[in-house]
Amino acid sequence: MQELIERKKEINEVNQMSPLIWAYIGDSVYELFIRTHLVNTTRLKPHNLHIEAIKYVKANSQKDILNNIYEDLTEDEKDIVRRGRNADNHHLPKNATVEEYKYSTAFEALIGYLYLTKQDERLKEILNKCLD
């Protein structure tokens, strides 16, 4: 079956991207995963779906998830996390501490990197750990 969304970049091209680009796409991949999970497993109305989704996608939650899965990551994945955490982002967080924002960016960078490099099985493993 053909991919719904075509990922055209080669691994060497993805490796040259800013970790903030990985986090940009990772944010949307993670949000879609959470929203789909909630639609599949609940019978909530849209407003309540949104309220539930926020519990998973807020910066503090993503920081906690990253802390929980960190020891299960490969050395390459830990390097991606480090690059995402240390990326020079000039955006000031509204509803999170600077530390929470850096770690949530690192988490999103990991998700985005795995998605862009088509490591779908590993991405699925990590995303499913987010639900524990």
Q: Where are the domains of the chain?
A: 16-129
Q: Within a 10 A sphere around the Cβ of 37, how many other Cβ atoms?
A: 17
Q: CA Rg, the chain, in Å? A: 15
Number of H helices, E strands in the chain: 7, 0
5 or 25, which is more confident: 25
Of 27, 79, 88, 120, the catalytic one is 27
pLDDT in tens, 58-68: 999 999 999 99
Put simply, whether the predicted model's pTM sits higher than 0.75 gets the answer yes
Q: What is the pLDDT of residue 50?
A: 96
Give dist(CA 29, CA 23) in Å, integer.
10
**pLDDT(1) > 50:** no
Candidate from 35-39, 81-85, 94-98 with smallest mean pLDDT: 94-98
Longest dimension (CA), the chain: 43
Task: Report pLDDT for 37.
Answer: 97
Task: Specify the CATH number for 16-129; select among 3.40.50.300, 1.10.1520.10, 3.30.930.10, 3.40.50.720.
Answer: 1.10.1520.10
Q: Which residue has the tokens 């960078």?
A: 109
Cα–Cα nearest to 66, from 85, 92, 94: 85
**Least reliable range by pLDDT among 9-18, 22-31, 83-92, 113-122:** 83-92
**For 118, which DSSP code?**
T
Q: What does the pLDDT look like over 70-87, one tens digit per residue? A: 999 999 999 999 999 999
Q: Quick check: is 132 catalytic?
A: no
CA distance linking residue 16 with residue 26, whole number of Å: 16
- How many CB atoms within 10 Å of residue 39? 13
Q: Closest Cα to residue 83, out of 33, 10, 16?
A: 16
Taking only the tens place, the pLDDT of each residue in 110-126 is 999 999 999 999 999 99
